[in-house]
Amino acid sequence: MRQNLGIASILSFVAGIVNVVGFLAVQKLTTNVTGHFALMVEEALKINLHQSFYYFLYIFFFFLGSFCSNLIIQITEKLMDKYIFIIPVLSETVILTSIALLSFDYILANPNLIACSMLFAMGLQNSLVTTISSSAVRTTHLTGLFTDLGIEVSQLFFFRAKGQQAKLKAAIKLKLTIITAFFLGGILAGLLYSEFKMKTLLIGSFTLLVGLIIDYINVQIRLKKLKQKSMDPSRNFSQID
């Protein structure tokens, strides 16, 4: 659960930044595709197939990001399972940094390209965190989170066993962490956007890199502890005995 909380905090914060910056810059939803489905159908019914196709592209690039992320994870897991998240997170960092360093005139002239790029990055992120948390965490949108939160809070009135209560409270804490981090990222992006425009995304890139460094350090500490335990003569003797 502690790992899930750490993942949730970092990635939800980044998603909140991307959500607000994307909407302010190109007036598109850039962290989820729910609204794009409705808009795609609406434009298709108006026989505005050109715009409908763009909405399809938004959906497709989110899917493509999710597909690529899991493909990378499955391949990496066979080679170095302790670092399965490094390539997806670095890929997301590169995409966000590249967008942040583009000229604002270019961004305004190519809103669909920017939206597709940001949706691809969010697809990468959502697939990554869903996979490594065993579907316990979603970080790029809040609809499902509020649904799960409502269900879990209502269950507190009926699940009386201590173990059930503890499990529910841990799940509620996780959901509240994700929601809070998402809002904090969004608020920060809203405050900074007027001054820094797309460069606000660099905060998200920096956050991802810090998260990678922290996780790498934690993995090395765990590996060192495991090595020390395996070399402990008293432990080995007790196991043989």
Residue 236: which residues within 8 A CB-CB, separation 6 or more?
A: 230
Query: How far does CA 95 lie from the centroid of its chain?
Result: 14
* pLDDT confidence tier of residue 235, bands split at 50, 70 and 90: low
Average pLDDT over residues 215-227: 82
- Is the domain 2-240 a CATH 3.90.700 member? no
Cβ pair 165, 153 in contact under 8 A: no
Give the model's pLDDT for residue 140: 80
Domain extent listing, the chain:
2-240
SS (H, E, C) 63-77: HHHHHHHHHHHHHHH
Whether the per-residue pLDDT at 240 is higher than 50: the answer is: no
Give the model's pLDDT for residue 94: 97
Instruction: Note the pTM of the prediction, 2 decimals.
Output: 0.89
In this predicted model, what pLDDT tens digit does every residue of 94-111 receive, in sequence order?
A: 999 999 999 989 999 999
Whether the per-residue pLDDT at 29 is higher than 50: the answer is: yes
